[in-house]
Structures are given as structure tokens and as C-alpha cells.
Amino acid sequence: MPKKLKVAVAGANGYAGMTAVHLLARHPGVELAQLTSRSFAGKPYSEVFPLLDRDGVFAAEPSAKRVDVIFSCLPHNVGAAQVGGWLDAGARVIDMSADFRLHDASLYPAWYRQPHPNPELLERAVFGLPELHEEAIRYAQLVAVPGCFATASILALAPAASSGLIASDVVVDAKSGVSGAGRSAGIGVHFSEVNESVHAYAVGGHRHLPEIVQELAVNGDGARVTFVPHLVPMTRGILATCYFDLKGSAAELEEAYREFYAGQPFTRVVDTTPATKLAAHSNLCLVNVAVQGKKAVVTSALDNLVKGASGQGVECFNIACGFERTTALEGPVQWP
């Protein structure tokens, strides 16, 4: 086991930050050296983490020279300007925002409403999806952890795309729990707004769409994807149901998925369509492959705060820092 690494979590008071802290607190190779939050600066950790066995107060900003790794759980466009300085100070950065996920800087104004503040860093960033980029993550100083919808959709479609089994445009119908909207208050996530109701949103194009298109490109061909997310009245979880015309047989499709994910510790091909609760509080992505007539129907389920965010961040951290990939991420399935 490598030595304990000093780790900071920036933005530790949000859902992604809180999840990262809870996972890293049980990691045998981690010393949680700094927890930062602008809104909680100077306040004790117990105000956010009443059960965390650790004394201390939140700092406003991380001190990169005093740590080995920074988990940046800051909002989009907040951490991007700081990451360069953290890297120059010698820290490895696991970024949980969207700031470094897209390779093409010209896409950021369209999807995030401003030019990228640090475009020269995009070529140094590795897209943090271990099932696709494990070797690149191993040597990365800057890892851009993908979005929750993007993770569920890419893992549902990558085996078919890489095997040339997609014969049409792809439609992704995805549903997320309310925690995917973050911890900040907003009328769209009030209990009375979401309880006993389901609705589609961002039908003109969701920010995770360009990540999906980027990662499903095979042989330089861009994937044609229609992606529609829905908000459902549950706390956590994502279910993505993906439809496309199948090139080949159902048996070939099934074989492609089982071969693609053979040996993967967290993405599993299952025999029945997965429920989100089966993946809740775990780093699992559960994928089911089915065919309806000539149409392939692939379903994936994951926890948006774990495999869809901080659990995947810890998975990338383990790969990059020489730990077993599953460290701090395995636990019993919680059902129901």
C-alpha cells in the first residue's frame, strides 16, 4: 500500500463534496488534510458533517502546496481559473465539475455561456471514465470526472458503438433523482414542485450531451444522439434507457457487452432491467441489454452521487495514485 496522501476537498459542503469526504474518510491511503467551503469558511466541520470523526474548521480555499491531491467539487466555471495554479504547485487535481470534460474549447460558450477561462489545460485533462480511459488516468495530473447522465449514457452505449452495432441515430431517455440538481435551494427542486410528478427538461439540449457525443465517437465519426433528461421524485439514482437500430443479432449485442465489461469491477451486465435502488449508495453501473424487434434497448442504472460523481472520482484517484481501483468503494448492496 502506498503512503498516505494528503488530500483536500474543495467545495466540501455540496452533495458531491460531501460524498467525496465520506468516501475518502474511510480510505486507508488518505489523510483528509483540508476541507474547504466559501460559505462555511471558519465554521467547524461538524456543521456539515455531524458524524465525521474529525475536528477542524473549513478554510475558504485549498492550499495546494500543502497537499498531494485536490478534489475540486466547486460549481462549473468557479474552479477552472484556479486549477492551473494548483497544478503548478504540484497537486494532482480530480475535478468534479464540467470545466475540463470537453476537448474542444469552442463548445464551452455554447453549453456553459462563457469562454473557457483556461483552455490551454484542456489538452492535459483526461476524461475520468475508467472503463474507457484507465491507462490515461494512470498518468494524469488533471482528471475531469464525467457528468452523471453522461456516465450512465456512455456506459450504456460504448460497447455497441465500439463494435459497430449501432445502425441508426441513438435516443437516450434518462431520469434522475433530485440530488442531481445539487444542494442549493431552487424552486425547481422544492418538495411541492417535484413530489408525485415527473417532467422532462432541457429538451433543446442538455449540457451532458456533448460529453456523450465526444466519448461515443468511433473512428472519428460523431455519434448522433438525442438526449432527454427527466426529473423524478427520488433522492438519488439515474436510469438511462437507450434505443437504436441494431446492426447484427441480439446474441452479438449481448456478447459485445459482456466482452467489453469483462473484468470491470464496477460496471456489470445484468440479466434483468436494473432498478436505481439496486445501485444506490454504490459505485456500480448496472447495464441490461435487450432487443425489441429490430430495435436494441439498453438500460443502465447508477447512483448519481457515487458512480455518477464522487465515487468515480475516488476510482480515478485510486488508479492515478497507485491504489487498488476498488479501495474505499466496495460495500454490501443495500436493498430495498
Q: What is the pTM of this model?
A: 0.96
- 328 within some domain: no
Q: Which residues contact 324 (CB under 8 A, 6 or more apart)?
A: 318
The CATH number of the domain holding residue 170 is: 3.30.360.10
Domain count, the chain: 2
Write out the residue range of the structural domain in which residue 254 sits.
148-304
The ranges of the chain with pLDDT < 50 are 219
Examine the domain organization and report whether 300 and 156 are in the same domain: yes
Examine the domain organization and report whether 105 and 165 are in the same domain: no
Model confidence pLDDT, tens digit, residues 205-243? 999 999 999 999 854 565 689 999 999 999 999 999 999
| Helix H or strand E encompassing 34 | strand 30-36
Examine the domain organization and report whether 228 and 91 are in the same domain: no
- 207 within some domain: yes
Model confidence pLDDT, tens digit, residues 146-175? 999 999 999 999 999 999 999 999 999 999
C-alpha radius of gyration, the chain, whole number: 19
* Catalytic residue annotation: 148
Examine the domain organization and report whether 220 and 113 are in the same domain: no
Examine the domain organization and report whether 99 and 170 are in the same domain: no
The CATH number of the domain holding residue 105 is: 3.40.50.720
- Residue indicated by cell numbers 498531494: 68
SS3 160: helix
- Residue indicated by cell numbers 473557457: 116
- 115 within some domain: yes
